Structure 1
Amino acid sequence: MALDKAAIETLKNISTATVTTVLLKKGLRNIWMRGTKPLKPGQPRIVGPAFTMRFVPAREDLATPASWASPISTRAAIEDMPEGCVAVVDSMGITDAGIFGDILCARMAKRKVAALVTDGVVRDLAGVLGTGLDVWCNGVAAPPSVAGLTFVGWQQPIGCGGVAVFPDDVVICDQDGAVLVPAAQLDALLAEAPEQERMEAWIMDEVGRGEKLPGLYPMNAETKSRYEAEKSAGRA
């Protein structure tokens, strides 16, 4: 199944915690991007295809302010971003050079990019917040990207927060951070995750009624039978 509007709406109701649980059952343990924290509280859950960008360590002859006008630049990459994508940036976890500031984030917002995700940091915090672009990153720093990084390309496989990200993989971000859904696992996630959310909501209701955890979470056969009966009756 493609990441169409219906799939996006379904995934917006699935937490990143549930995504990691469902994909763990498929053998995928390393999908949560370390260091991808919401820049501000209350950011909505975002779902979109990954648009990848890659930095390498700064090299003095390449990482210069003049490089911002190069055909291979963050500016050129932003102009290639399609509406609704999630820009995922490999910053190698560098936290003392901000990859984007307010102007670049404003342009991304104007192009209707869904979000920026990076294992690095941003700069011009007040300005970035003012753009309305939702950002998941590892903090803020005043120096520009070229103080610690060299930009080398976009739409190629990258590593972000220790996770392999390929263009058009699916990214889901919420208050727990950003997770990666390999494109090949999208159908399985869409088939199984809504039921996982439904089941856990029912379990939470049972906990609220005072039920003990053994036999409830995870369910034993008796509890599962009771859950299925209540689901069939429209009570779960």
Structure 2
Amino acid sequence: MSVVVRNAPRTDAEVVAGLGRFGVATVHEAQGRRGLVDPRLRPTFRPTHVAGTALTCEVAPGDNWMLHVAVEQARPGDVLVVSPTSPCGDGYFGELLATSLRAHGVLGLVIDAGVRDIAELTAMGFPVWSAAVSARGTVKQTVGNVQTPIVCGGVLIRPGDVVIADDDGVVVVDRHEAPEVLASSRAREAKEAATRDRLAAGELGLDIYGMRDALAAKGLRYVDATPVDRAGR
């Protein structure tokens, strides 16, 4: 049986906005290097950055029928996340669906499949992270699921989870853990800002990060050049 779950819960908008101030790399590190979608999914144009709540959609190979069903469940601030039940690189999505999603407040698309109309999507500034680009179209014959847990790019994504996507890729934060991840992201950003100032002042990462003892334990030794070496002979 295929289902559409209506009125699925979303992460609090203020928490989403807070996480949206950080890049994918920062959030990924802040939550223990979890939630990173397979790097096969790349943005169709750069620079780009979105943060929103997951509107999930499971589709059949070569069939985009359920994307139209998903639009009805969209809320402003959502990111549509799509995964086929088996691998498919067909062009599920293009300019017309992007126009429809934008009218309902959807911020972007993450899809473990193909898209098309890249020039038009770029011109309209609709962000897409996809596994492929393909002009091959799809049919509308098979039903799937909307707003149910799916696996996209190797990551389990539940409706309402936070999706952050930028030039570096896509990371997902469980909506139940989002406030804690936001606090960790803020702490990491503050730490990196302090480190950046020290590096800019000329300090070495070797000393800031306390690497010297660990390198020595691994057998790294420093030796001075001989007089012959210094003469270049």
* TM-score scaled by length of structure 1: 0.76
Q: SS at the partner of 2:206?
A: coil
How much does 1:132 deviate? 2.7
Question: Any gaps of 5 or more consecutive residues in structure 1?
Answer: 221-236
Q: What pairs with 1:80-95 in structure 2 (closer than 5 Å)? A: 80-91=73-84, 94=87
Task: Show the counterpart of 1:36.
Answer: 41
1:13 aligned to 2:21? yes
1:156 aligned to 2:155? no
How much does 1:116 deviate? 0.6
Match of 1:46 among 50, 57, 66: 50
Q: What pairs with 1:101-120 in structure 2 (closer than 5 Å)? A: 101-120=94-113
Task: Show the counterpart of 1:128.
Answer: 121
Q: Deviations over 1:34-57 (max 9, x none)?
A: 1221110111x2111100011233
8 Å contact from structure 1 (residues 203, 217) kept in 2: no
1:195 aligned to 2:195? no
**Aligned partners of 1:178 and 1:93: how far apart in 2?**
21
1:23 aligned to 2:28? no
Q: Deviations over 1:172-223 (max 9, x none)?
A: 1111111010112112112221121111122122112211113413699xxx
How much does 1:130 deviate? 3.3
Q: SS at the partner of 2:72?
A: helix
Q: What pairs with 1:160-175 in structure 2 (closer than 5 Å)? A: 160-175=152-167
8 Å contact from structure 1 (residues 171, 178) kept in 2: yes
Q: Deviations over 1:95-123 (max 9, x none)?
A: 53011111111111111101111122211
> Pairwise CA RMSD of aligned residues?
2.5
**Aligned partners of 1:93 and 1:115: how far apart in 2?**
22
8 Å contact from structure 1 (residues 92, 160) kept in 2: no
How much does 1:18 deviate? 1.2
Match of 2:206 among 178, 199, 214: 214
Amino acid in the other structure paired with 1:137:
S
My pick for the range that moved more, 124-133 or 91-100, is 91-100
Question: Any gaps of 5 or more consecutive residues in structure 2?
Answer: 1-9, 213-233
